[in-house]
Amino acid sequence: MSYNEPKTRRMRLQRLATLVCFVASGEGHWAGFDCSEPRDGSDNLTIGQRECSCGGTKRDTRPVRWIHVPKTGTQFGNTVFRAACDTLPPYAAMRAVPGESLRHAPHKRVIPYFLDCFPNAVERCLLDGGIALAQGHHALESFAPQRVAYVTMLRDPFSRLVSSFHDDYHDCKKCRGTSLVEFARSSQTAAIYANFLLGRSSEELNASSAVAEATERLKKFAFVGIVERWARAVCLYHSIFGGIPTNAEFMNTVRKSMKHNETSLADLSAELRRDARYRHRRRSDPHDLSLVDDYIYQAAVVRFDADFRAYEARCKVPKYNK
């Protein structure tokens, strides 16, 4: 069924009405939103003009569904909305009020922010079928790439685990009080990428087939970005879905952990990687999930680099360093 057919349009209207009620009830409006124009240069195009080889014409017109894996960059929602809803003002980007922080569940605030601050632009975008919304972190329950443009950002899985651990045991609340290594070994934190891409819990996954199934599914995604290549990912995304990125899309406008810096993050990630490889070798178990997400991530990196090379060739510009 086409997304332009009446039944689907009614479904979008019902979903929009639900979201409007959600915001109107007060649940969708948290202190800490800044709907005003910041006048700090974040609405400028200078970074995008410098970083992006070319931009702007939408090549994929399917409704966008963002598969948001925890700890892979909530602020990417700014890019998803800006590309899908082309009537948003240049300064539209979820950010904290100066002096405050969006520390509590920012992934649940992306939709309410845009709908609360810019209702006319977002309602038009929803009704036109520009975006298929899913609030928060949701694994794929069904997969229809012929009708929906699935997009996601992935990150080094061990780096992601460190961030999750430091964000109040984000992936496993019952793991509170455990060490970082114990947290990473939990069945609740294992193979999150496979879980989100295949819609199965870790207990339901077969490690010997999960990697192949997940990477095959990734091939059908309209966009697979890499957190460690953030600027390139933003540029590539806009080359597919249209528009020119604003400076805010290259900034962390949401939050940043105070419990680790880049050096400690790299050291702790390396520790988890060594532990996972050791356990994988020691067990010699085809069902061991220790490295499943790492294999999926490496496949995503290969996909992203190939997509970016094609983007550069299409724009006919010299390559530049990350």
Domain containing residue 189: 6-315
- Please give the average per-residue pLDDT across 151-166, as a whole number: 94
More confident residue, 8 or 249: 249
Residue 242, phi-psi category: left (phi > 0), alpha (psi -120 to 50), beta (remainder):
left
In terms of C-beta density within 10 A (0-12 exposed, 13-18 middle, 19 or more buried), how is residue 65 classed?
buried
pLDDT of residue 56: 66
Residue 300 above 50 pLDDT?
yes
Instruction: Give me the residue label for tokens 């192949």.
Output: 212
Record the tokens describing residue 52, joined without a space.
């992006």
Does 322 map to a domain? no
Cα(266)–Cα(264) distance, rounded to whole angstroms? 5
Q: Which residues sit opposite 150 in a β-bridge?
A: 65
Mean residue pLDDT across the chain: 80
Dihedral of CA atoms 225, 230, 231, 237 in degrees, nearest 10, equals 20
Cα(255)–Cα(103) distance, rounded to whole angstroms? 6
- Please give the average per-residue pLDDT across 95-99, as a whole number: 61
Residue count of the chain: 322
**DSSP one-letter code for 79:** H
Measured CA angle at 166 (ends 113, 82), to 5 deg:
25
This prediction's pTM: 0.84
Instruction: Give me the residue label for tokens 């460690």.
Output: 228
Does 257 map to a domain? yes
Residue 213 above 60 pLDDT?
yes
Spacing of C-alpha 286 from chain mean position: 29
Does 321 map to a domain? no
pLDDT of residue 106: 61
H or E stretch covering 105: none
Does 1 map to a domain? no
Does 246 map to a domain? yes
Record the tokens describing residue 108, joined without a space.
């649940």
Max CA separation in the chain (angstroms): 57
pLDDT of residue 224: 98
Does 100 map to a domain? yes
pLDDT confidence band for 244 (50 / 70 / 90): confident
- Please give the average per-residue pLDDT across 228-237, as a whole number: 95
Summarised one tens digit per residue, pLDDT across range 4-46 is: 333 454 555 455 544 444 444 444 444 456 788 888 888 888 8
Percent of the chain with pLDDT over 90: 37
Does 320 map to a domain? no
The domain that holds 198 is classified in CATH as: 3.40.50
Cα(109)–Cα(22) distance, rounded to whole angstroms? 11
pLDDT of residue 134: 64
More confident residue, 203 or 219: 219
Write out the DSSP string of 304-316: HHHHHHHHHHHHT
Does 305 map to a domain? yes
**Domain count for the chain:** 1
Best CA proximity match to 53, nearest among 310, 273, 293, 274: 310
Q: Which residues sit opposite 225 in a β-bridge?
A: 153
pLDDT of residue 288: 80
Residue 194 above 60 pLDDT?
yes
Phi, psi of 255 (to 5 degrees): -170, 165
